[in-house]
A and B are shown apart, each in its own frame.
Chain A
């Protein structure tokens, strides 16, 4: 479940705040650890949200680029991940809109719908990803950090600046919701 190599890297790297301040000080490379730290979590979220790996990849890239150019606007520098997920959420919404318009205006629309219907015969993983993506933001954050960014509960509590009890409470609620969604 937890990738020890990834955790060691995360721990060895500085805090989000340190990297953000480095970026704002003009050191672009300071953004690299933030991408490494959160790319899997953001991609997992976007894959569940957009249901298309290529579009998720593109949307994730766009989210990080927007985050980079807007870092100065992030007031609580310890809350980088929730802020980044918020950007990813809005990017996904824009992608959805654009895709819907393009698809509907295209002559291939009907054919695409058939393909989409086939894709919708989903694997278990896709059901799970969709369940994670549909969680309320506070629950989604802890699940993505726990499983896709490989953080322990303690690391999540540090990264989100939350008491440990709140983290386990949110995890508990998230598990219950995911279970219900899968069962349905």
Chain B
């Protein structure tokens, strides 16, 4: 026999599934090959362990329970909440034979009735956003079950959010994606953990979650500032209830957003949510919650994450999207700062951009932060003013020390923090990312602002 016996052959041997001739060859090889003997021993060890576990596994039979539940459901005419929808089930049965012909007619009636419901339904219970605001008053947090786009893949996830008392902004967040990362926000920091890598990556800013959580303050904001909103109604065939559908667009610190929010007209609560990181609901939603539950109290322990022993924390590098490199490299943009160190240059451009914002010089702002030129002036004003129009910076109180936090093909990236006063009088910590560039010819230093790092964090 050439080489070793394959693991499949060893398994087949252990399972007594080898044909006589092949078995003979394998047996002969095993007698003289210690490596294969070891492999067979390993295979048998797993098999033995499985056998021992199975032998010790003597659960109570569920047979009686299954049949009594089937009988009970039949008696009441109910069906279990099916994994796939009752809708599909009904249609599936309707086509499955003569016995179901009557059911087929019934199903058709149900389908038509449901469609009529969609097109002609007028809500018997009046709904207004004010009522939903009233319904969520006093709620401290929310739980979502749904899905999220992460690195081009849609992952099922659950998310818990605690709102800041009396504000629309998020305080804490925990997101658990199935077969994906666990991400949590605590204070002004964000943590990313994806097993099996024994590392928690950290950002010293709120870089994940919602800028505004959907509590009362957010709904009030939506009422005031939504650029476009329209209300319609639909019949949810899966949950067998009518829903109010609110489509809205807004701009916040993270840029443009579009939403579809669905409310239960009887409880007035938000029950489904879809969020797009664009202005026109185009493409797949970035986040989709198929279930929304409001929480009256949110203990701190909710945001504790069990981590295995030996985990290390590592600061995550800051990066810029490759498609933005071209704009960031534009020579006419930014500030040319020969003779300054990279840190000094980063501070200088931070001072300059807050100066431009405070004086309302949008052209200068766009020159310093070339990605802002993607917006027209009105849009940029709206972004700077924030959701409630009160987030304009009116005073730069203090600039922090710039910290080198990564690099792009253009050069090092710095994060500069700033304490600023906003139009509403409150003090916030802002952070921006600065791209330091060097002229390949004379090595002269210049820099541009890439954009905000995380969302503003209250410091008063």
Q: Is A62 an interface residue (CB 8 A)?
A: yes
Q: Are A128 and B49 in contact (CB under 8 A)?
A: yes
Q: Are A178 and B46 in contact (CB under 8 A)?
A: yes
Q: Is A73 an interface residue (CB 8 A)?
A: yes
Cβ of B382 to closest chain A Cβ, rounded Å: 36
Chain B contacts for A32, CB-based, 8 A? 63, 67
Q: Is A78 an interface residue (CB 8 A)?
A: no
Contact pattern, A 129-155, Cβ under 8 Å of B = 1, otherwise 0: 100100000000001001110101110
Give complex CA distance A57, B54 in Å: 16
Chain B contacts for A35, CB-based, 8 A? 62-63, 66-67
Q: Which residue of chain B has its CB nearest to the CB of A104?
A: B302
Q: Is B301 an interface residue (CB 8 A)?
A: yes
Cβ of B104 to closest chain A Cβ, rounded Å: 13
Q: Is B60 an interface residue (CB 8 A)?
A: yes
Q: Is B324 an interface residue (CB 8 A)?
A: no
Main secondary structure of the interface of B (DSSP, over half): helix
Main secondary structure of the interface of A (DSSP, over half): helix
A87-B83, A175-B46 given as contacts; is B59 within 8 A of A53 (CB)? yes
Q: Which residue of chain A has its CB nearest to the CB of B83?
A: A90
Q: Is A11 an interface residue (CB 8 A)?
A: no
Q: Are A72 and B96 in contact (CB under 8 A)?
A: yes
Most chain A CB within a 10 A radius of its CB, from B51, B55, B67: B67
Those of B123-173 within 8 Å (CB) of chain A: 143, 145, 156, 158, 160
Chain B contacts for A36, CB-based, 8 A? 63
24 contacts between A and B (CB under 8 A): A1-B54, A39-B63, A57-B65, A65-B66, A70-B84, A70-B89, A72-B96, A87-B83, A97-B158, A104-B143, A104-B302, A105-B143, A109-B301, A113-B306, A124-B49, A128-B50, A147-B54, A152-B15, A168-B11, A169-B8, A176-B7, A178-B46, A182-B46, A182-B49
Residues of B within 8 A of A (CB): 7-8, 10-12, 15, 17, 42-43, 45-51, 53-57, 59-63, 65-67, 69-70, 73, 79-80, 82-84, 88-89, 92-93, 96, 143, 145, 156, 158, 160, 178, 293, 295, 299, 301-302, 304, 306
Residues of A within 8 A of B (CB): 1, 28, 31-32, 35-36, 39-40, 43-44, 47, 53, 56-57, 60-62, 64-66, 68-70, 72-73, 87, 90-91, 93, 97, 100-101, 104-105, 107, 109-110, 113, 117, 124-125, 128-129, 132, 143, 146-148, 150, 152-154, 164-165, 167-169, 171-172, 175-176, 178-179, 182
